[in-house]
């Protein structure tokens, strides 16, 4: 099973939202990281066939999306970012409706609906109208509908946005459960979510892939660029102005800073093992803080 994106671009006027993306994806969980406006959602919409690419091809097992037609969509599960529901439908009705949209037979639709509602822990509220659901419940319903047709390609756009920590953990576990033998593309700017479940990181900036690396090796190229330093409180502000500070921790009258920078920010700075958040800040720090 292989999903290929070949020279995929999306242009709005002179603005390149996605530019010449080339990647070949085998089964596994891909964490798509990038700052807001990096082109993650545009890329995912193109993969899901709901936004036309300006140029380039999307191929599944060698055939283009156009050649496959309905069959392509039969392999697809999509949970868009902030997508709406039908407030007057119950959770069960929404699942059965989506099963019909996905072409599942009546019996199969019922069975999958019940199984998934149980998996996402919504069975007890399945006959309540969606308008009465909390944000977390809606997100769980969202991933349940994406999984209805047992998709080979599962696209999840910011699935944990707006969830509290407990819900996020629960959600990450759900994604891991669903991810077996699938191509899962998970977009988020909450890097800790990705670090738990992704096999590969796709780092996007200004419509392009900056990095495509396995999770284990993704931080290798910033090794030696992450520092920790203990400074007096009055000095911390000046460091924050000059450097990208990943973390700040008060220890009595001192402050421990975690800084991402090419060179040691001070003589007493200690090089530490880099993490995904460090990587994110290394690439997007200026963009995020407008420096």
Partner 1 sequence: MLVKYEFLKIIRKKSTFIIMTASLLLTAFLFGLPIIQYQTYNQDGVIQGAQGIAYVKEQYSMSVPLSEEYIAESIGEVQRLFADSQNVGYDGNERFLIGDAYWNHIAPREKMLNMIAKTYDSPQENSGYQKLAELEAAEYNNFYQAMEDKMQALRNTPSRGLSDAQKAYWSNMADKIKVPLQYGYFEGWEIIMSSFELLVFAILSICIAVAPVFCGEYQAGTDAVVLAGRFGKTKLITAKIAASFLFGLLAFSLHVVVACGLPLMAFGADGWNLPVQIANTTIPYPFTFLQAALVSIGVIYLILFAMISFTLLLSSKMKTPYLVIIVLVPVLFFPIFLTPNGTTGTYNLTLFLLPYRAAMSDIGKYISYQFGNLVLDAFSMRAILYAMLTVIMIPFAKRGFQKHQVAG
Q: Is 266 in the site for partner 1 (CB under 8 A)?
A: no
- The secondary structure of residue 222, as a DSSP letter, is G
- From 20, 54, 97, 119, residue interacting with partner 1 (rule: CB under 8 A): 97
Distance from C-alpha of 14 to C-alpha of 46, rounded to nearest angstrom: 19
Q: Is 127 in the site for partner 1 (CB under 8 A)?
A: no
- Which CB atom, from 96 or from 231, has the smaller least distance to partner 1? 96
Distance from C-alpha of 62 to C-alpha of 64, rounded to nearest angstrom: 7
Q: Is 101 in the site for partner 1 (CB under 8 A)?
A: yes
Give the footprint of partner 1 on residues 70-89 (CB under 8 A).
Answer: 70, 73-74, 76, 78-80, 82-86, 88-89
Q: Is 230 in the site for partner 1 (CB under 8 A)?
A: no
Question: Residue 70 CB, nearest distance to partner 1 (Å)?
Answer: 5
- From 1, 26, 100, 248, residue interacting with partner 1 (rule: CB under 8 A): 100
- From 50, 111, 217, 248, residue interacting with partner 1 (rule: CB under 8 A): 50
- Provide Rg for the chain, Cα atoms: 21
Q: Is 114 in the site for partner 1 (CB under 8 A)?
A: no
Question: Residue 29 CB, nearest distance to partner 1 (Å)?
Answer: 19
161 burial type by CB count under 10 A (0-12 exposed, 13-18 middle, 19+ buried): middle
Strands (DSSP E) along the chain, which ranges? Answer: 3-12, 15-25, 28-34, 55-60, 63-64, 76-79, 153-157, 183-188, 200-205, 208-214, 226-232, 244-251, 254-260, 270-271
Give the footprint of partner 1 on residues 137-196 (CB under 8 A).
Answer: 142, 145, 149
Using CB under 8 A, count the residues that bind partner 1: 34
Strands (DSSP E) along 142-207, which ranges? Answer: 153-157, 183-188, 200-205
Question: Residue 127 CB, nearest distance to partner 1 (Å)?
Answer: 14
For residue 180, the tally of other CB atoms under 10 A from its CB is: 9
Chain residues binding partner 1 by CB under 8 A are: 42, 45, 48-52, 70, 73-74, 76, 78-80, 82-86, 88-89, 93, 96-98, 100-103, 106, 109, 142, 145, 149
């Amino acid at each position: 099973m292989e999903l290929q994106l070949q020279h995929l671009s999306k242009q709005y006027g002179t603005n390149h939202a996605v530019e010449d993306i080339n990647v070949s994806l085998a089964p596994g969980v891909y964490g798509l990281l990038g700052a807001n406006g990096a082109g993650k959602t545009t890329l995912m919409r193109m993969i899901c066939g709901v936004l036309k690419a300006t140029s380039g091809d999307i191929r599944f097992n060698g055939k283009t999306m156009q050649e496959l037609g309905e069959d392509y969509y039969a392999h697809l599960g999509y949970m868009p970012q902030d997508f709406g529901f039908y407030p007057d439908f119950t959770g069960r009705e929404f699942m059965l409706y989506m099963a019909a949209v996905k072409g599942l037979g009546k019996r199969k639709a019922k069975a999958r609906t019940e199984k998934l509602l149980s998996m996402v822990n919504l069975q007890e509220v399945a006959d309540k109208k969606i308008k009465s659901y909390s944000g977390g419940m809606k997100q769980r319903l969202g991933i349940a509908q994406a999984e209805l047709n047992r998709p080979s390609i599962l696209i999840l756009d910011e699935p944990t946005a707006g969830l509290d920590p407990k819900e996020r953990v629960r959600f990450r576990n759900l994604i891991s459960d669903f991810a077996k033998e699938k191509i899962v593309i998970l977009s988020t700017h909450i890097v800790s979510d990705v670090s738990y479940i992704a096999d590969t990181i796709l780092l996007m900036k200004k419509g392009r892939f900056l990095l495509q690396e396995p999770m284990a090796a993704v931080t290798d190229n910033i090794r030696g660029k992450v520092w920790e330093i203990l400074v007096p409180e009055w000095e911390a502000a000046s460091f924050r102005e000059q450097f990208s500070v990943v973390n700040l921790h008060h220890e009595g009258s001192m402050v421990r800073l975690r800084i991402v920078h090419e060179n040691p920010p001070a003589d007493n700075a200690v090089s530490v093992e880099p993490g995904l958040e460090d990587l994110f800040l290394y690439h997007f720090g200026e963009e995020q803080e407008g420096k």
